[in-house]
């Protein structure tokens, strides 16, 4: 089993864990963390797939580095919005939708 395949499998598992976390968890901070898990999974897949015979393609690696910067900025924005929501409502969960 090559290292690229290991990275790809780990990325798919992390992405699936993030999807499950976003669907099942109501706590907003944990949803932000689940979203970061999904991003990490995508980054691992982008690093793992283009490896062939030990030669690494530099373009996906540059995309991953750019993606990491964007992810840090998006996480900071989400945490700032979550903090503001907590100050206004005193809760870290979205209200229940009871109209069904």
Q: What is the CATH number of the domain that holds 57?
A: 1.10.287.3510
Residue 94 domain flag: no
CA distance 3 to 11: 12
Count of domains for the chain = 1
Residues 6+ apart with CB under 8 A from 3: 48, 51
Residues 6+ apart with CB under 8 A from 28: 82, 85, 92, 93, 94
Q: Is 46 strand, coil or helix?
A: helix
Residue 95 domain flag: no
CA distance 66 to 98: 41
* Chain segment 47-60, per-residue pLDDT in tens: 888 876 777 788 88
Residue 96 domain flag: no
* Chain segment 3-35, per-residue pLDDT in tens: 778 888 999 999 999 999 999 998 999 999 999
């Amino acid at each position: 089993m090559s290292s690229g395949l290991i990275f790809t499998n780990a990325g798919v598992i992390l992405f699936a864990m993030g999807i499950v976390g976003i669907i099942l968890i109501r706590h907003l901070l944990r949803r932000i963390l689940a979203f970061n898990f999904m991003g990490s999974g995508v980054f691992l897949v982008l690093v793992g797939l283009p490896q062939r015979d030990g030669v690494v393609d530099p373009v996906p690696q540059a995309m991953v580095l750019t993606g990491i910067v964007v992810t840090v900025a998006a996480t900071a924005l989400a945490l700032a919005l979550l903090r503001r929501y907590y100050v206004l409502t005193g809760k870290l969960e979205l209200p229940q939708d009871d109209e069904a």
